[in-house]
Structure 1
Amino acid sequence: MPMTLQTIITSTRPGRVGPQVARWMNDQAAAHGGFTAELVDLADFDLPVFDEPKHPRLGQYEHAHTQKWSETVKRADAFVFVTPEYNYGVSPAFLNALTYLATEWAYKPAGFAGYGGLSGGLRAIQSIKPIVTTLKMMPLPESVAVPGFGSFLGPDATFKPNDMMEKGAKDMLDELAKWAGALKPLRG
């Protein structure tokens, strides 16, 4: 049975541009052949600021939004988080979404596609790695950086990556497949 890779759009801001990068990344994952690719939009879950009364490690969720989020994340064997950079970090919605769950994240590799200004989201990616490690995910060093995002949009607002981004995506997906397979026995 093929492994499932979720490409997660982590910004929920109106007018965001992450879906364009995420659709491209999800298409790359589908074409890779090592995964069943699933595009997940964090905005579809409408998660309020963390509001569960019990610690996530217990898995005793009282709210329908948390239960829906848990079931979605549980299906994945690996993730690509598509993240903007806000103030040298990730979006508050991304950090909040991570906080909602515990065991659903464990023993799964995480890749990142960052976008933004000059750094291409790399500062955001580096800032979130200690947190995903605490959740027992394996953050990969391979990633995709999209500096000056607007210059990679075509006239139809479609994301037009360069060769370096294409190669970065392939390298990251190859590593995600290796790690997802190696960690599978730990996921039970």
Structure 2
Amino acid sequence: MTILVLYGSYRSDRLGIRLANFITQGFRTRGDDVELIDAKAIDLPMLDRMYKEYPNGGAPEGLEMLAGKIRDADGFVFITGEYNWGMQPGLKNLTDHFLEEWFWRPAAIASYSAGRFSGARAALAWHGTLSEMGMVVVSSTLAVGPIAQTLSENGEPVGEAGKQLARAFPRFADDLAWWIEAAKAQRAKRAPPY
């Protein structure tokens, strides 16, 4: 399976990268082809034109590269922090550059925060957004908080919270894998309706 892990914090002291690395490594250990897409590293401009609004071959190089990766992926994991009860603008901006490229593939959401709510409100907002963008959002989620007491700087589980996260990951990964397999089988059987 080819999985993209999408992460969107632009902050200088980013803690969510720990969760992004943990999940990327978890899928890699399972034998999946997984890549971390870091919105800050790609540094797309604020949305002016969607990818599809550029003439064929006229999109900026970073946008063209990312469009290909999204089209080639079997599924997605969105790593989201919570900013004032809402979504991270960097991840939302990256996501909104595309539409049809996301269609007919499953997505999973992993949220985090520095506090005890673990980014749950942002995860809830993402669920509706990703569904509207043509993805099937799996029911299993991961919610990590306080993140600094759950994962080390290298994305390794620490303490009791880290142990709980490590125990929860296989179900999260299995749920996404099941939907990826189901979506791939259905796309091979019949073209999507639009």
TM-score higher than 0.5 here?
yes
Code of the aligned partner of 2:119? G
Residue 176 (structure 2) aligns with? 176
Instruction: Tell me: CA distance 1:130–1:59, structure 2 relative to 1, closer, same or farther (3 Å).
Output: farther
Q: 1:78 deviation in Å?
A: 0.8
Q: Is 1:90 the counterpart of 2:83 in the alignment?
A: no
Instruction: Tell me: CA distance 1:143–1:59, structure 2 relative to 1, closer, same or farther (3 Å).
Output: farther
> Hey, what's the Cα distance between the residues in 2 that align with 1:135 and 1:129?
10
CA RMSD of aligned residues (A): 2.1
Q: 1:152 deviation in Å?
A: 2.3
> Hey, what's the Cα distance between the residues in 2 that align with 1:55 and 1:27?
29
SS in 2 for 1:5: strand
Counterpart mapping for 1:34-49 below 5 A: 35-49=32-46
* Equivalent in 112, 115, 119 of residue 112 of structure 2: 115
* Equivalent in 137, 153, 158 of residue 154 of structure 2: 158
Q: 1:72 deviation in Å?
A: 2.1
Among all aligned residue pairs of Structure 1 and Structure 2, give the percentage whose two residues are the same amino acid. Answer: 26
Residue 145 (structure 1) aligns with? 143
Code of the aligned partner of 1:65? G
Query: For this pair of structures, how many residues does the alignment match?
Result: 182
* CA contact 1:7–1:26 (8 Å) conserved in 2: yes
Instruction: Tell me: CA distance 1:92–1:59, structure 2 relative to 1, closer, same or farther (3 Å).
Output: farther
Instruction: Tell me: CA distance 1:11–1:114, structure 2 relative to 1, closer, same or farther (3 Å).
Output: same
Q: 1:17 deviation in Å?
A: 1.5
Code of the aligned partner of 2:30? H
Residue 186 (structure 1) aligns with? 187
Residue 70 (structure 1) aligns with? 67
TM-score normalized with structure 2 length = 0.84
| Structure 1: tracts of 5 or more residues without a match | none
* Equivalent in 17, 32, 35 of residue 19 of structure 1: 17
Q: 1:157-185: per-residue Cα shift (whole Å, max 9, x none)?
A: 23343232122211111011110111113
Q: 1:153 deviation in Å?
A: 4.2
TM-score normalized with structure 1 length = 0.87
* CA contact 2:8–2:89 (8 Å) conserved in 1: no
Q: Is 1:51 the counterpart of 2:48 in the alignment?
A: yes
Q: 1:57 deviation in Å?
A: 7.9
* Equivalent in 86, 98, 102 of residue 99 of structure 2: 102
Code of the aligned partner of 2:102? W
Code of the aligned partner of 1:38? E
Q: 1:59 deviation in Å?
A: 8.2
